[in-house]
Amino acid sequence: MRLDSLCDTGRPSASTGPAWRHWLGGLLLIGMVFTLARPTLAGGPAPGREALGPDGALHISDGDRCPVCAMLPIRYPRFAAAIELQDGRTYYFCSPGCMLKTWLQPDIFLGTKGTSLKRPIVLEYLDGKPLDAREVIWVSGSDVIGPMGPALVPLKDEAHLEVFRQRHGAKRIFRLEELNHDTWETFTGKKAIGN
C-alpha cells in the first residue's frame, strides 16, 4: 500500500502535490510546536538568567520560561513563582500550580532529583510578598483564575486565609508537606503526570 493512498482525499492534488506531503508537513509542524512547548524534551529547561534574591525576591528576565508550560513568567508578575536548587540555579514559573507540579515531580520537569531542590518561592496572593512555599497555607477551589486556569493560591496565615475565603471562596486548604500524587488529584481534579 502506498503512503499517498492512505491520505488521499479523492480530489486531484493539482500543483500542490500528493495529500501525504501535506499530512507529513503537518506532523512535522506539530512536532516542532510540541518540542518548543515542552523544553524538557529538547535537553532540559534552562534556568533563569538571574538567581533568587536572599530574601526570595524573584529576578525574572524576559527570556525565562516556565519549565512546565514554556510560558513567560515575566508576563504574569502576580502569579510567578520559583524553585532554587542546591547549586544556586533558579527556575521561574508562570504560576504556583506549575511550581507545585515541579516540586512534586522534579525528575520530569527539571531532570533532577528531589534532593537537589533547595527552596520553593511563591508570591503571597494578598500582599505580593515572596514567601517560602513550605510555610504558606494553600487554597484550591476558589474563583481565582491564573495563567493556567483555576489557581492554587498561596496565603501567608490564617488571617489572610479568612479575608481570601470571604472574597473568593475556598474548597480545599492544604500545606505543601501534604502534597503527593494522590492529594494532587484531590486538590486540582487532575492526575499527576507520573501517576
Instruction: Calculate what percentage of the chain has a pLDDT beyond 70.
Output: 76
Containing structural domain, residue 59:
44-188
Angstrom distance (rounded) from CA 75 to CA 95: 11
From residue 117, give the alpha-carbon distance in Å to each of 46, 62, 99, 110, 178: 15, 24, 12, 10, 17
> What are the phi and psi torsion angles at 173 (to 5°)?
-125, 135
d(CA 21, CA 2): 13
Residues 130-189: pLDDT tens digits?
Answer: 999 999 999 999 999 999 999 999 999 999 999 999 999 999 999 999 998 888 888 887
Look over the chain and give the mean of its residue pLDDT values, rounded to a whole number: 83
Q: Is 6 inside a domain boundary?
A: no
Domain assignment of residue 5, yes or no: no
Owner of C-alpha cell 481534579: 189
Rounded to whole angstroms, how far apart are CA atoms 114 and 91?
14
List, for residues 98-137, the tens digit of each pLDDT value: 999 999 999 999 999 999 999 999 999 999 999 999 999 9
The pTM (predicted TM-score) of the whole model is 0.76
CA–CA distance, 174 with 187 (Å, rounded to integer) = 8
Q: Are 35 and 27 in contact (CB under 8 A)?
A: no
The total number of structural domains in the chain stands at 1
| Of 82, 57, 61, nearest in space to 133 by CA | 82
Per-residue DSSP letters for 14-33?
Answer: GGG--HHHHHHHHHHHHHHH
- Evaluate whether residue 157 is within a structural domain: yes
* Per-residue pLDDT, 19: 58
